[in-house]
Amino acid sequence: MLGLPQVRRYFLYRDATDMRKSFNGLGGLVINEMGGKLLSGDGFVFVNKRRTMLKILVWDRTGFVIYYKRLSSGTFEVPVGSSATSMEVSVAKIMLILEGVSLDSVKWRKRYQRA
């Protein structure tokens, strides 16, 4: 399996996404709905209505890449938060979502974070 790309930040689009969308369609959501910049070095995460498919759109300095995962059974857990169109999500949470870990049951231990 490929690892997640090293990007500055990840943003999760909160609304359900039509998974037929590809580079241009997802890029349009980033610009028009999320207010993001496609070439910023950020990753943009999209989940379908049934929460069985997830796409990550990334610019890797030479072109766009879409990482796509479709579950055979079960669903992705999307973090709850504000009513904003998108929210910033840590790489650790993205990994938990991809692995099927319940975000409510995760207990985070205190760690040093550089200011």
pLDDT at 3 over 60: yes
Asked whether residue 69 is domain-assigned, the answer is: yes
Whether residue 106 is contained in a domain is answered as no
Flag the least confident range among 23-32, 45-54, 87-96: 87-96
> Residue 78: is its pLDDT beyond 90?
no
Does residue 108 lie in a domain region?
Answer: no
Give the residue, 4 or 28, on which the prediction is more confident. Answer: 28
6-42 as b/e: b if 16+ CB within 10 A: ebeebbbbbeebebebeeeebbebbeeebebebeeeb
Distance CA 81, CA 57 (A): 22
State residue 22's pLDDT score: 95
Q: Angle at the Cα of 64 (from 58 to 5), degrees rounded to 5?
A: 35
pTM of the model: 0.85
What domain range is 74 assigned to? 10-99
Given pLDDT bands bounded at 50, 70 and 90, which one contains residue 25? very high
Give the chain's domain count.
1
Residue 66 lies in a domain: yes
Residue 4 lies in a domain: no
Question: Residue 89: helix, strand or coil by DSSP?
Answer: strand
Do the domain assignments include residue 104? no
Residue 34, in any domain of the structure:
yes
Confidence of residue 100 (pLDDT cuts 50, 70, 90): confident
